[in-house]
Amino acid sequence: VSPSAGIPSSAPSASGIPATVPSGTPLASTKPSESGTPAAPSGTPAAAPQETPGSSMNPYEGGVPEAPIFSQKTGVYEKAFSLSMTAQPGTEIYYTTNGSIPTTNSTKYTGSIQISCRNGEKNVLCSEENIKKMDIAGSGYDYVPNDNEVDKCTIIRAVAIAPDGTSSSVITNSYFVGNDMANKYKGATVASLVMDPNDLLDYNTGILALGAYYDEWRKTAEAKQILQSKAYWNYEGNYTQSGKDWERQATMDYIDPSTGNVEFSVPMGVRLHGGASRMYGQKSFKFYMREEYGQKNLKYALIPGDVDKDGKQIKKYKGFMLRNGGNDTELTKIRDVFIQSCVTDRAYGTQAVRPCVLFLNGEYWGLYNLTERYSDNNFEENYGVDKDNVVVFKEDELDEGTEDDNALYEELMSYANKDFTDDAVYEEFCKIMDVDSFADYYATEIYIGNNDWLIPKGRNSRKNYMVWRARTVDEENPYADGKWRYMIYDTEYSMGLYDQGRQYAQTPSFTNAKKNDPLFAAVIQNKTFYNKFLATIKVIGSTNFDYDKCCKKLDELSTLYKPLMQDFHTRYYGLNDWRRSQFDANVNEMKNFLKVRYDLILDDIEE
């Protein structure tokens, strides 16, 4: 199997831990983005300048006012300090501390603001009142944390407003004081996401809220059955909605806690991400860079080890995700990270990852996996295929491309009805499919026993399934050859999740794939491909998922993630919740699965 047929998103380090998950090495200090803020000092700030509002800028003479100037930048500070702001004479500064956009109804700036450690202060976003708006009562995901269970930072959003009501651009800064971030979040980065609370909680439009959609849904006959069964993963509400209509604007300050450096501060669009995992209190987010928000791309090496087809570090992103861990949200958050880090050499795309702690409107929102997001721009950056030439189908639906591209996918799926015992059919199939990618992808999903992949519901039964190709052939680019290739993602419902590892390893995933995927069932009938598939899964089992190597990697990931999970468990489930004890148990079950899986899955295939 040729690794060059696919694109590794990252490579394992010599120590065995994936390069996409740093083990404490600080980020290199980088140049701030065009619309961002420079790095802040990590120690005690210099004394605030003795200025009065409007003392150091050109007088306002009409038009759009200049934005206020802050005496201290976003960053990590050891001690409390006074923050002052200046604006053009003739304008006045208004500011907020809850994430809302300031107006003349907000607090008027009249003098310096004391910025200090806020840990222990009253919860706002995750108050009891707001938890009721966001989370299903009695679900187990509606824990109301105590004030001292939620670390905090200070958010200041400020504008200068002219006498005629014209406002400047909004300046957003995040201040972390006394949080001991270098030790507490060792090995992770920190993102402070700031957005209007109404965009999160409004009854009709808030993306985190149960809201109007929940109240309308619960009146339906289908909902009444689901409500009775308490199948929370099938509930619907504002938080299950998707698409551009459910994208909201935000600003993200991104910090390396080991140095206190502000790596970037940028405006972006935000949506929720995921399927059933949206039921959790901690939900996943997708981020979009758009010119309409003020910045078209993020030019920054966001995930060390995220490399393109030539092995060069990717330094430009159109978007990314903060993923809660999917089905593994409550337990370890490392299953998908671990699995993808083991198969970066296979002939399909993988997602680069690093751990990131999120603060939402100044309140600790938990540990996430900062994850590469598949998109047309992502394919262009990774494979060099023009984004307008990229066709992507996700779970049998057109994800990127035009309506005419449906014909290309129908052509691919038509092979499910052909006789692959005829070698001529297989040869024709190989003209439109990268068969290395096909073999690698199915062998991996089958080996790990992914239970959230193929669902026995007929034609549209593929879940967490993505294929892509170039629409038009470019002979100078081997990835633009018009052949379909696979991308792997959301692999965590595997390797013993919700079960004992050794028992889970008995899952006849090969037999199940033949039953539930008509295309695979057809292609595997070809003797040449069957032999190729058998050889592939043997290599994946003995090399990519070699037991000793995997145990070492799991131990290293555990060392990194387990300390970071402690605050997460406290925030979402309290100090005494049983989930806290499940991290080590789940890692052990993954090891138990890997120890016996090879022989069991080969028995299933060879029978």
pTM of the model: 0.90
Which tens digit of pLDDT belongs to each residue from 425-437? 999 999 999 999 9
User: What is the spatial distance between Cα 405 and Cα 466, in angstroms, rounded to a whole number?
Assistant: 15
Which tens digit of pLDDT belongs to each residue from 121-164? 999 999 999 999 999 999 999 999 999 999 999 999 999 999 99
DSSP code for 107: E
Q: Looking at beta carbons, which pairs linking 43-49 to residues 24 or more positions away fall under 8 Å?
A: 43/77, 43/78, 43/260, 44/77, 44/78, 44/79, 44/81, 45/72, 45/77, 45/81, 48/72, 48/81, 48/82, 48/83, 48/84, 48/112, 49/84
Which tens digit of pLDDT belongs to each residue from 486-506? 999 999 999 989 988 899 999
Which tens digit of pLDDT belongs to each residue from 444-483? 999 999 999 987 654 456 789 999 999 999 999 999 999 9
Instruction: Compare 26 and 252 and report the one with higher pLDDT.
Output: 252
Provide the sign of the torsion angle of the four alpha carbons 90, 96, 102, 107, taken in this order.
Answer: negative
* pLDDT at position 112: 96
Does pLDDT of 44 surpass 70? no
Q: Percent of the chain beyond pLDDT 90? A: 84
Which pair of tokens denotes residue 9?
Answer: 């998103």
Instruction: Compare 13 and 90 and report the one with higher pLDDT.
Output: 90
Closest-CA residue to 504 (of 512, 496, 494)? 496
Provide the sign of the torsion angle of the four alpha carbons 22, 27, 32, 38, taken in this order.
Answer: positive
* pLDDT at position 576: 83
Band of pLDDT at residue 55, cut at 50, 70 and 90: low
Asked if residue 259 lies in contact with residue 29, where contact means CB atoms within 8 angstroms, the answer is yes
The strand pair at 319-323 and 363-372 is best described as: antiparallel
Does pLDDT of 534 surpass 90? yes
Amino acid at 256: D
